[in-house]
Amino acid sequence: MTKHIFFLIIVVFGVFSFNSCKKDSPSYPGGEVSAYIGIYDVRTLFKGTPIELNLETLGGSSKITGIVTSDHSAGNLPHGVLVIQDRRRLDLLRGISIQMGEKASEYSPGDSIVVDLIGGKLQRLNGILQITGISSNKIEKISDGNRYQALRVTADQILKEPTKYESTLIVLVKGGFSYTPREGQILSGDQKINDGFGFITVRTNPESELANLPQYKMANYLGILFNEASGDSLIPYQSLRTKSDLVQIRSEYKTPKVVVTGLLNDPSGSTDANYEYMQFLATEDIDFSKTPFSVVTTNNANASTPTGIPINGWATGGLRTYKINLIVGSVKKGQFFYVGGTNKLIAGEKSTSISDAHWVANYDYANKAGYDFGTKTGNLLANSGNAFGVAVFSTIQVTATTIPEDLVFVSTGGSLVSANAGYRIANTDFYDIVNPVTLTNQPFYRNGDNTKAFVYASPSADTFIQFNGEFNMTLGRWTKSRVQNNVLLTKESKLQEVENEWSTKLVE
C-alpha cells in the first residue's frame, strides 16, 4: 500500500512539474529558412523542363553566392555565360552558368558575387543548364581576387555523370592524344584528349586567342566543363579559359620494360608458404641472364618487422620487404610471365598445376632469405587488410633510392611514409613522382596525391587480383589505366582464367 501511495505522489509531482515547465518556458518557433541556397540544390531542382525561380520553388530561399570562374578575355567560352561555383552543400564543389549576354565578360575569376534568383528561370540551353532572366542589377559583387579551386576528375567519372561536373572548373591530368603530335599541330577545334581513363573533348574556338596553342604529347587541361545536346543525350566537353590553362608536363614518363598485371596473395589451405605468385607482362624482349631484373614484395601487416616507417623503402628487408632476383630465362614482348614460390599451383594446396606457365623465378621464400634482403616467410603479401605491394626493378641493386619500373599497391593501412622515407614510386598510370598539378615532389606511395590503391579482395582466399589496362607502345603511356578484376579461383581452375580477354594488353 505504501508503495502505491509513493508512486502516486511521484506521478502527480511529475505532471505538476511538466505543466509548470510548459507554462513558464518560452515558445520556440521553427528555424528560419536561409536566404541562400547552394548551387548543388539549385541544380537538383531541374527535372528536364524549365522551372520558374521563386520563393516557392526555391523552398523559401532567394539567393545564391559563389566565386566566378569564367574568363571571356580569350574568347573561348560559350557566349554570354557567367560561371560561378560553391561548396555550400555537403562540401561538394558544384558550378552553375548564368546567362548574362555581353555583361558576362565584366566579371573576372575570383570575384565573389551574390545573385538574386527571384524572377529568373532554370533551363537547359544549348545543352548547358543555365539560369536565365537575371539582370545585372540582381548581382552584387562582394569582393575580388578570391582564391578558387579546380576539381581534379577523370574522364570516366565525367562520362558516367556528365551533369555532375557541368559548369565546374575541372582539371584533366596527364592528358594526351591518340597519336604523337607533330611539331606545328595546334589545339584549334575539337580535340579528343585521353587521360588514361577515357576520352574527353577539349573545345577551342578557332577564332579565339587559344586556337594556336600547341598540341603537347602530355599536358594538364584546366577549364570549365560544359555539355551539348545530341538527341536525348548530353555530350561533355571542356573549354580552356586562357593560355595558362594548358600546362605541358615535362616529367619523364618512360616506357616500363615490365608491368605488374596480377597476383595471388591468399591461396587457401593450411599455409600460403611457396604458393603465392605474381603475374607480369613484358613490353620488350628481355634476356634476364644478360639484363637481370628483380621483384620486391612488401608486407605491412602489423606483425611484419621492422615496424614503423620503412626508412630504406623497398630495401627495408626483415618481414617488410623481400627480394627475388630474375637472373635466368627470357621473355618476349607481350608475354605474361610469373614469379613466386616453388609449388606452381594456381590456387594453393591440391589445386591445378600451372607449371606450364612462363615461370621466370620459383623461389623457396618459406625456407630461404631473399636475395640481399628479406627474412624467410610464409607470407610475401599481407592477408590482414594492411597495405601490400609488388615492385619490379630493371636491376638487382635495389636501395632506398632505386626507382622501380612499375609497381602496384593493394590497401592503404600500416606505417608507410614520412616526409623523407617510404616506398618509392615510378611515374605510372596511378602515381606521379612530381605532382602534375602543383608541381611539388611526391616520390613515395601515400605521398601527396599518390594515394590510389587497389582494394583488398573479399573473399581473399583463392582470389587472383587481376590488374586490367591498356598500354600504348607508340605513345609510351597507359591509355586505359589499370582497373581491378577479382577472379575467384577453384582448385580446378586453369591458367586461362588468369590469362584471359580482360588481361592487360599492349597496343601499338
DSSP assigned state of 242: S
Host H or E run for residue 20: helix 2-24
- 130, three cell numbers: 543555365
Candidates 366, 430, 374; CA nearest to 398 is 374
- How much is the pLDDT for 502? 87
User: Kindly report the CA angle at 211 between 206 and 212, in degrees rounded to 5?
Assistant: 135
Q: Is the pTM of this model over 0.85?
A: no
> Which amino acid belongs to residue 255?
T
Q: Omega before 459 cis (within 30°)?
A: yes
| 8 A C-beta contact, residue 76 and residue 120 | no
- How much is the pLDDT for 31? 63
Which residues lie below 8 Å from residue 206, measured CB to CB, with a gap of 6+? 188, 189
Q: Where are the domains of the chain?
A: 39-143, 151-248, 251-508
| Angstrom distances, CA of residue 144 to CA of 66, 129, 492 | 12, 25, 67
What whole-number distance in Å separates Cα of residue 401 and Cα of residue 443?
Answer: 10
| 8 A C-beta contact, residue 420 and residue 450 | no
| Angstrom distances, CA of residue 382 to CA of 266, 306, 412 | 8, 15, 12
Pick the CATH number of 251-508 from 3.90.226.10, 3.40.1480.10, 2.60.40.1260, 2.60.120.10: 2.60.40.1260
The rounded Cα 404 to chain-centroid distance in angstroms is 21
DSSP track, 72-108: -TTS-SPTTEEEEEE-TTTT--EEEEEE-GGGGGG--
Residue 313 backbone dihedrals phi, psi, to 5 degrees = 55, -130
Do domains 39-143 and 151-248 share one topology? The answer is: yes
Which residues lie below 8 Å from residue 194, measured CB to CB, with a gap of 6+? 155, 175, 176, 177, 178, 479
> Which amino acid belongs to residue 480?
K
- How much is the pLDDT for 437? 84
- How much is the pLDDT for 385? 80
Q: Quick one: CATH architecture of 39-143? A: Beta Barrel (2.40)
494: number of Cβ within 10 Å: 12
What whole-number distance in Å separates Cα of residue 302 and Cα of residue 383?
Answer: 11
Torsion of Cα atoms, 64 then 66 then 72 then 73, to 10°? 140
DSSP track, 186-234: B--EEEEEE-SS-EEEEEE-TTSTTTTPBPPSSEEEEEEEEEEEETTEE
Tens-digit pLDDT string for the chain (508 aa): 343 433 333 333 343 333 433 333 333 345 688 999 999 999 999 999 999 999 999 999 999 999 999 999 999 999 999 999 999 888 899 999 999 999 999 999 999 999 999 999 999 999 999 999 999 999 999 999 999 999 999 999 999 999 999 999 999 999 999 999 999 999 999 999 999 999 999 999 999 999 999 999 999 999 999 999 999 899 999 999 999 999 998 777 789 999 999 999 999 999 999 999 999 999 999 999 999 999 999 999 999 999 999 999 999 999 999 999 999 999 999 999 999 999 999 999 999 999 999 999 999 999 999 999 999 999 999 998 899 999 999 999 999 999 999 999 999 999 999 999 999 999 999 999 999 888 899 999 999 999 999 999 999 999 999 999 999 998 889 999 999 999 999 999 999 999 998 899 999 8
- 94, three cell numbers: 558544384
| 8 A C-beta contact, residue 350 and residue 402 | no
- How much is the pLDDT for 384? 83
- How much is the pLDDT for 501? 87
What whole-number distance in Å separates Cα of residue 190 and Cα of residue 206?
Answer: 9
Q: How far apart are the first and last CA of the chain?
A: 96
Half-sphere exposure for 448 (CA within 13 Å, toward CB): 19
Q: Sign of dihedral through CA atoms 405, 409, 412, 415?
A: negative
Q: What is the CATH number assigned to the segment(s) 151-248?
A: 2.40.50.140
